[in-house]
Amino acid sequence: MIEELFRTDIKYFKPYDAKQEEYKIKLDANESFIELSQEIKDKIIRNLRKLEFNRYPDPDALELKKAYGCYIGIDEKNIMVGNGSDEFIQILASAFLDKNEKIVTLNPDFSMYKVYTEVRGGRVLSFDLNEDFTLNGDRVIQYINLEEPKMFIFSNPNNPTGGVIPKKDIIKIIENVKCVVVVDEAYMEFYGDSIVEYIKKYDNLIVLRTASKALGSAALRLGFLITNSTLLREIKKVKPPFNVNSVSQTIGKVILDDRKFIKESIDKVLCERNYLVTQLKSIEGLKVYETQSNFVLIYSENAKKINDILIKSGVKIRSFNDRTLKDFMRITVGSREENMEVINGIRGYI
């Protein structure tokens, strides 16, 4: 009886399976391996003591917006704060899509674009990347103009490949399509060539960012949407009020105020990324893809067996079930000890 009350169009959906299983080493979720410094933790505690827990949070997260605006060099009036980038993908689907309207995304790309669009009743069209995971910009422009979607959304750097679309190609797409272009820059700090400076120049550009990766704050669930004032005003109509709690706002600002820690963290990740890529390339039978992110995508005919062996040894990396990435594995950049454990596990099998 109760099942009859649920929406029929989500009957065959499956919940996102984010199991929190116990592993000795966890390199499957693209989290930072760097803990916050003791100095930052002490400052967080001092600031949390000042909070009035009986009051609702600032609905606009003004102090956090100012701190993030200063961090990326953008006026806080062009920034919205949310519960991770995921919430913004949901908000954008609500703001732009009527039932059965289309978005275009890339294949492969972040799976939640498809999920949140379909939950909203929209249709998802996937444009395949080339065999080497690069994008043919002219072809995607033709495809978008043919299909006339409301939105084109993609990650840059790409998750799960780690590859990038050059800025000039993104600009060409923005200038030649008649839809909103959403660039998800979750991993931008590990690449550096952002499109965010163009949010006022182009009226159809939205940029998404997160505190979960380079800022080492996945536990806080903080995301940022950056765009022009016209789009921001419309998007705000469907944003939940008081959506970001006071604790996350407070901690986020403390972290953003410590630029030295952020820079050192990014430098450590880049150093370990270089080490991991170099070591993986030395293993016969692996194809290692160039990456501008905090993870590495590799291909092996024995991907499933390698993954099973790593799991048995207590090491979790990301494997894939879909046709496009069946024989691929994605490894988050970890500490030197964690990276060595993964490398030795793969070498032991090969």
Per-residue confidence (pLDDT) for residue 11, from 0 to 100: 73
One domain, residues 42 and 28: no
Q: Is the pTM of this model over 0.85?
A: yes
One domain, residues 250 and 139: yes
111-126: pLDDT as tens digits: 999 999 999 999 999 9
Sheet holding 328-332, edge to edge: 25-27, 315-319, 328-332, 295-299, 287-288
One domain, residues 157 and 205: yes
- Number of domains observed in the structure of the chain: 2
One domain, residues 119 and 181: yes
Is residue 10 a part of any domain in this protein? no
One domain, residues 271 and 298: yes
214-268: pLDDT as tens digits: 999 999 999 999 999 999 999 999 999 999 999 999 999 999 999 999 999 999 9
Asked if residues 339 and 308 have their Cβ atoms less than 8 Å apart, the reply is no
One domain, residues 196 and 326: no
11-62: pLDDT as tens digits: 777 777 666 678 899 999 999 999 999 999 999 999 999 999 999 999 999 9
Is residue 1 a part of any domain in this protein? no
One domain, residues 344 and 249: no
One domain, residues 139 and 238: yes
Confidence of residue 194 (pLDDT cuts 50, 70, 90): very high
Report the CATH number that the domain containing residue 205 is assigned in CATH. 3.40.640.10
SS3 per-residue string spanning 38-61: HHHHHHHHHHHCCCCCCCCCCCCC
Asked if residues 299 and 319 have their Cβ atoms less than 8 Å apart, the reply is no
One domain, residues 234 and 198: yes
Asked if residues 217 and 251 have their Cβ atoms less than 8 Å apart, the reply is yes
Per the structure, the complete domain to which residue 325 belongs is given by: 20-35+260-349
Is residue 4 a part of any domain in this protein? no
Is residue 220 a part of any domain in this protein? yes
Domain end residue (candidates: 214, 241, 257): 257
One domain, residues 239 and 271: no
One domain, residues 215 and 229: yes
Domain end residue (candidates: 233, 257, 281): 257
Asked if residues 224 and 213 have their Cβ atoms less than 8 Å apart, the reply is no
Question: Reduced to 3 states, what is the DSSP secondary structure of residue 309?
Answer: helix
